[in-house]
Structures are given as structure tokens and as C-alpha cells.
């Protein structure tokens, strides 16, 4: 298993330490990682679980690769429990059939048949991203990488773009009878950094490491700020890690390109906005305000692109939805780039 430097370890909850490395630095499934999946609260037996389910769960903890027959599942008293196990076992079998977690993740989206629940795909994105960031000492980059597997609540305030973890914000807001990051901040003009969720700055960024598994720091994605630059580096690493493509990503304020030929939305909202802009459709200001970041991606080796558009930039978009939530789909960057040789 991977041996980590405890002084700089982060995202322990990803399960990274439970996995082995392949010869090419990718992640190989282990029995302990499968046990961690089985121990998830969504999978572990509950008080109402039948004896058959409890017995099967115990047997799988003992041997996580154990075959499970349809006959065993048919003995479940609860149809929902039986269906849940069919999903979990399908996920397990797909992991075991792949050469690595990275191969599983990429092939899942390339197949177009997404039957694995999002919570499991986010878990894989979490641990793969942790592997991708091995040796990275930039806390901004680690915090920016959380966007790949955790949804964010966005606050647009006086020209700034602040992202806080949706689950953590909702948890705080529920305790205070509030429903948004703005209300969590304060009644009126209290700065965001004065509440329990600290905004990462160059002065305090080192606090991230000891709090990484709490997901309780705020990322400033305002243009020219370190957080946005860090996200660019994350997108470059994500592309290289999965596709082996060497790209550069830079933030831009707008797309002013008469030869705009390709774009990729990094979430559902930005995909819709970029598609409309590309077609020359009128996009209202009330919609454009949701577009919180634009990027220009360029291949350092143009021959890696489709020949008909080699050398042209690819524009990327990032947007919050109508409820102020950013749900990035990092898989879009893997399946929608104009590669000369498809992934």
C-alpha cells in the first residue's frame, strides 16, 4: 500500500492509503478499499435489515471479492435492500474488472452507460484526484481540486466569486435556520472570513492541510486570485493524468474569437450557456451572471488534436446553477476534448 508522509497527508477520507499503485502510478483496487466501500453508511446494514442481508454483509467484509449469486440476493426480505446490493456489487465487479481506478472512471463515462450511482463515482474521483496531487504542496491547488468531486455553493459579492462546500454550508445553515452562504456570512456586511468557514488567502493558506478532510475552507475564484490559477493547474493535471495530453489552461474574461471552433462546459449550466453563445443566440444578463469563470485550453502538441482544428484553442466554462450551486462534471473534460486519437 501507499506510504504517505504524515506531515503533509491530506484527504485521508478518500481511502488513498488503502490502495496499491500500478507500475504506471495509477491506483489498483485492494480488499481494504472494497471493505471501506462496504462500510459506507449507504451500504452497511441498518436496524431494519434482515438476517440474510446482515450475513451477506459480514461475509463480504471477510472476503470482499466473494461471488454473490442471484439466489443469495433473492433471499433478501426487502426488495429495496436487494436492489441496493445489486448496485453495490455491480460497482465492485466493475472496479475489479478494470486495470486501475482511473481506467474504471474513464471507461464508465466513455461507455455512455452510466449505471453507477453518483456518490460512488464521486468517491472514485476523490481518491483519483488525491493520487493525481501526490507531492503537490500548494494548498490552493488542493482546495481547488475539491471542485472535481464536491459541489459548491457560490457567492457573488462585490465582484468576488466565493465557493464554499455545499454540504458544509447547508449543515451550518440548518443549525442557524439559514439557507444560503450569504445568510451564513451575516445579517448585512460581515466579511466572509469572519465566520467559521475561512477564506483561503496567501497569508493563511497553510491552515488547509490540517483541515482538508473537514472541507470547511472557502475558495476565492475571482479573476487574478490564486484560487483561479490553482484551478487551472488542476484542470491541466486532470487532463494529463487521464488522457496523457499536455495542455495549458488560462483564465479569460470573455471569448473574443471569430474562429471559435470548440468549447467544453465543465457543468450542465455552462454547457448550455456556451452552446447558446456559440450559436449566436441572445443570452440574457440574468443568465450570463451565472457564468463564474472562463478558460482557454491549448494543446502544447497540436498534433494531439483533431487535424481539422489542430492549433485552435478550446474554451471552457464554469457556472453556478439557478440555485447558486456549482456541480462540476470533470468527466466532460475527458470525453469532449477534440483528440486526434479518442480516449
Would you give the distance in Å from CA 259 to the centre of its chain? 31
The answer to whether the predicted template modeling score (pTM) of the entire model surpasses 0.75 is yes
Which pLDDT belongs to residue 299? Answer: 98
| DSSP helix/strand/coil, 272 | helix
Pick from 81, 102, 132: which residue ends a domain? 132
The verdict on residue 234 lying in a domain is yes
Q: Report how far residue 291's alpha carbon sits from residue 275's, in angstroms, rounded to the nearest whole number.
A: 13
- Cell numbers describing residue 309: 482544428
Same domain, 97 and 146: no
Q: Report how far residue 22's alpha carbon sits from residue 8's, in angstroms, rounded to the nearest whole number.
A: 22
The verdict on residue 1 lying in a domain is no
The verdict on residue 45 lying in a domain is yes
Same domain, 121 and 155: no
The residue length of the chain stands at: 343
212 neighbors 9 (Cβ within 8 angstroms):
no
Please identify which residue in the block is written with the cell numbers 449507504.
Answer: 42
Same domain, 124 and 143: no
Which pLDDT belongs to residue 181? Answer: 44
29 neighbors 96 (Cβ within 8 angstroms):
yes
Same domain, 226 and 104: no
Paired sense of beta strands 27-28 and 217-220, if any: unpaired
The verdict on residue 5 lying in a domain is no
Which pLDDT belongs to residue 65? Answer: 98
Same domain, 111 and 220: no
Same domain, 229 and 119: no
Same domain, 308 and 335: yes
Same domain, 57 and 95: yes
Same domain, 287 and 165: yes
The answer for residues whose C-beta is within 8 angstroms of residue 89's C-beta and 6 or more apart is 68
The verdict on residue 108 lying in a domain is yes
Same domain, 127 and 171: no
Same domain, 93 and 61: yes
The verdict on residue 3 lying in a domain is no
From residue 83, alpha-carbon distances to 253, 283, 330 in Å are 47, 43, 28
Domain ranges, residue 259: 138-343
The verdict on residue 194 lying in a domain is yes
Q: Report how far residue 299's alpha carbon sits from residue 236's, in angstroms, rounded to the nearest whole number.
A: 10
How many domains in the chain? 2
Tens place of pLDDT per residue across the chain (343 aa)? 444 445 578 999 999 999 999 999 999 999 999 999 999 999 999 998 899 999 999 999 999 999 999 999 999 888 888 999 999 999 999 999 999 999 999 999 999 878 899 999 999 999 999 999 999 999 999 999 999 999 999 999 889 999 999 999 988 877 654 434 444 444 434 444 334 689 999 999 999 999 999 999 999 999 999 999 999 999 999 999 999 999 999 999 999 999 999 999 999 999 999 999 999 999 999 999 999 999 999 999 999 999 999 999 999 999 999 999 999 999 999 999 999 988 7
Same domain, 166 and 96: no
Amino acid at each position: 500500500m501507499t506510504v504517505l508522509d504524515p506531515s503533509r497527508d491530506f484527504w485521508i477520507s478518500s481511502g488513498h492509503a488503502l490502495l496499491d499503485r500500478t507500475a504506471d502510478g495509477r491506483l489498483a483496487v485492494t480488499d481494504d478499499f472494497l471493505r471501506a466501500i462496504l462500510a459506507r453508511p449507504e451500504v452497511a446494514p441498518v436496524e431494519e435489515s434482515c438476517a440474510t442481508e446482515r450475513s451477506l454483509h459480514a461475509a463480504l467484509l471477510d472476503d470482499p471479492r466473494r461471488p454473490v449469486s442471484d439466489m443469495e440476493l433473492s433471499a433478501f426480505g426487502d426488495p429495496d435492500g436487494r436492489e441496493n446490493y445489486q448496485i453495490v456489487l455491480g460497482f465492485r465487479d466493475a472496479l475489479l474488472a478494470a486495470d486501475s481506478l482511473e481506467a474504471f472512471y474513464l471507461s464508465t463515462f466513455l461507455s455512455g452507460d452510466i449505471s453507477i450511482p453518483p456518490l460512488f463515482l464521486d468517491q472514485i474521483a476523490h481518491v483519483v484526484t488525491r493520487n493525481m496531487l501526490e507531492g503537490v504542496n500548494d494548498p490552493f491547488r488542493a482546495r481547488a481540486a475539491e471542485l472535481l468531486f464536491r459541489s459548491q455553493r457560490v457567492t457573488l459579492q462585490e465582484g468576488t466569486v466565493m465557493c464554499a462546500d455545499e454540504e458544509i454550508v447547508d449543515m451550518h445553515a440548518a443549525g442557524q435556520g439559514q439557507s444560503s452562504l450569504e445568510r451564513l456570512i451575516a445579517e448585512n456586511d460581515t466579511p466572509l472570513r469572519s465566520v467559521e468557514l475561512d477564506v483561503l488567502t496567501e497569508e493563511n493558506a497553510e491552515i488547509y492541510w490540517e483541515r482538508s478532510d473537514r472541507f470547511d475552507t472557502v475558495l476565492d475564484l475571482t479573476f487574478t486570485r490564486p484560487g483561479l490559477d490553482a484551478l487551472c493547474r488542476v484542470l491541466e493535471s486532470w487532463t494529463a493524468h487521464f488522457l496523457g495530453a499536455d495542455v495549458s489552461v488560462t483564465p479569460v474574461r470573455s471569448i473574443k474569437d471569430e474562429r471559435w471552433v470548440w468549447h467544453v462546459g465543465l457543468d450542465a449550466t455552462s454547457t448550455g450557456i456556451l452552446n447558446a453563445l456559440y450559436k449566436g443566440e441572445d443570452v440574457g444578463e440574468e443568465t450570463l451572471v451565472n457564468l463564474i469563470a472562463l478558460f482557454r485550453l491549448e494543446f502544447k502538441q497540436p498534433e494531439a488534436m483533431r487535424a481539422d482544428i489542430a492549433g485552435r484553442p478550446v474554451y471552457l466554462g464554469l457556472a453556478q446553477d439557478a440555485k447558486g450551486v456549482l456541480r462540476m462534471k470533470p468527466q466532460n473534460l475527458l470525453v469532449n476534448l477534440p483528440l486526434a486519437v479518442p480516449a
